[in-house]
Structure 1
Amino acid sequence: MPSRRRTLLKVIILGDSGYVNKKFSNQYKATIGADFLTKEVQFEDRLFTLQIWDTAGQERFQSLGVAFYRGADCCVLVYDVNSMKSFDNLNNWREEFLIQASPSDPENFPFVVLGNKVDVDGGNSRVVSEKKARAWCASKGNIPYFETSAKEGVNVEEAFQCIAKNALKSGEEEEIYLPDTIDVGSSSQPRSTGCEC
């Protein structure tokens, strides 16, 4: 297999329940175990590989601490629009990430929020309004917000386009040589954002 160069972006997904693995893993190629996946995203005529780490809300990841979070280019916070508890826990997940990852510029580190499961029960069991979620995102520095249905594929590609865009703005691009495997190295690039998705 010929080697190629592309940009690798590390994305951490946090929330009370898994987003990538349990909901639409058929769209992804598993690389190492079930909790580390890659997704290729085309953005501005370039190909990027998102290295996606999804905790699926599992406590076993808490023991990984700094090693798990280190080098992240973007953090995706996911909640279930049908569960107020999962929404209320977004702040805990955000704080946990900032503590563990210790980004050089925490105020401007790129986050993206996904309100998932908008398809459930035709939207009738929804308890968190889009307005409430957008207000929370605005209060945390205008975090980009998407309502998604991972199961139905609603807004999933759009969300990952925004995630790639945000991750790119988090620091200088790093071209990584990828032969047949992915280098899981870390980076301590300065971070900044300001993406309007």
Structure 2
Amino acid sequence: MPSRRRTLLKVIILGDSGVGKTSLMNQYVNKKFSNQYKATIGADFLTKEVQFEDRLFTLQIWDTAGQERFQSLGVAFYRGADCCVLVYDVNSVKSFDSLNNWREEFLIQASPSDPENFPFVLIGNKVDVDGGNSRVVSEKKAKAWCASKGNIPYFETSAKEGTNVEEAFQCIAKNALKSGEEEELYLPDTIDVGTSNQQRSSGCEC
């Protein structure tokens, strides 16, 4: 059998409380939606195995509390992230206006080696609410913000109905893969000392 190449990719989801971060993650990983989610306390994560071409990798998706008192989770939480997903509610101007703060907070805490080119993805969630009639942030405004930040990919989703969720996370996975290639783990059929050292030094023990 050929050696399998497997990569662990860490994805952080940030945004104000109530924008649907937990719902998006659960819709993508479990294909489920619930109105009963309680506010996330601190942080939680789900994993999903994804295959691109001959590559098998695990997305480790971290969901964060949107309340400001939990923003001090700090370096350990942000460290090693391969992609950051910023989420806002298209029916809430406040959640959109908070995006700059979330982005800056991430760059400060994560301290990526190349902050100018670190992959972000923006999601405008809850497009299903009131048939779109209560929407207050336009697609044009969101895309302009993305353009001002280096052409961040943008998706409009409904976690409730599953609209565009799969497409958004496929883009997230691809962007994470680009930045996470240096942390690839090789899992050959026989383990030798060199491979074990490589695994220990890969920085993937998240």
Q: Could you list the runs of 5+ residues in structure 1 that have no partner in the other structure?
A: none
Q: Are 1:184 and 2:190 an aligned pair?
A: no
Q: 2:114: which partner in 1?
A: 105
Instruction: Give the stretch that moved more between structures: 48-57 or 24-33.
Output: 24-33
Q: Could you list the runs of 5+ residues in structure 2 that have no partner in the other structure?
A: 20-28
Counterpart CA distance in 1 for 2:122 and 2:200 is 18
For residues 13-60 of structure 1, what are the alpha-carbon distances to aligned partners after superposition, in whole Å with 9 as ceiling and x for unaligned?
Answer: 000036689984899999999711112223234332110111131345
Aligned-residue offset at 1:169: 1.2
Aligned-residue offset at 1:193: 20
Q: Are 1:73 and 2:82 an aligned pair?
A: yes
Pick closer, same or farther for the CA change 1:105–1:149 going to 2, 3 Å: same
Aligned-residue offset at 1:10: 0.2
Answer whether contact 2:2 2:188 (CA < 8 A) is retained. yes
Aligned-residue offset at 1:167: 0.7
Counterpart CA distance in 2 for 1:11 and 1:128 is 25
Answer whether contact 2:89 2:95 (CA < 8 A) is retained. yes
Identity score, percent = 94
Q: Are 1:129 and 2:133 an aligned pair?
A: no
Taking structure 2 as the reference length, the TM-score comes to 0.75
Pick closer, same or farther for the CA change 1:178–1:96 going to 2, 3 Å: farther
Counterpart CA distance in 2 for 1:78 and 1:24 is 17
Counterpart CA distance in 2 for 1:184 and 1:153 is 45
Aligned-residue offset at 1:168: 1.2
Aligned-residue offset at 1:95: 0.3
For residues 118-158 of structure 1, what are the alpha-carbon distances to aligned partners after superposition, in whole Å with 9 as ceiling and x for unaligned?
Answer: 01110000000001000000000000000001111111111
Answer whether contact 1:18 1:56 (CA < 8 A) is retained. no
Larger radius of gyration: 2
Answer whether contact 2:40 2:64 (CA < 8 A) is retained. no
- What is the SS of the residue equivalent to 1:171? helix
Computed over aligned residues only, the root mean square deviation of the Cα atoms, in angstroms, reads 7.4
Answer whether contact 2:9 2:58 (CA < 8 A) is retained. yes
Taking structure 1 as the reference length, the TM-score comes to 0.78
Higher helix share: 2
Pick closer, same or farther for the CA change 1:185–1:15 going to 2, 3 Å: farther
**Corresponding residue pairs, total:** 197
For residues 84-138 of structure 1, what are the alpha-carbon distances to aligned partners after superposition, in whole Å with 9 as ceiling and x for unaligned?
Answer: 0000000000000000001111110000000000011100000000010000000
- 1:165-180 equivalences under 5 Å are 165-176=174-185
Aligned-residue offset at 1:62: 2.3
Counterpart CA distance in 2 for 1:34 and 1:181 is 36
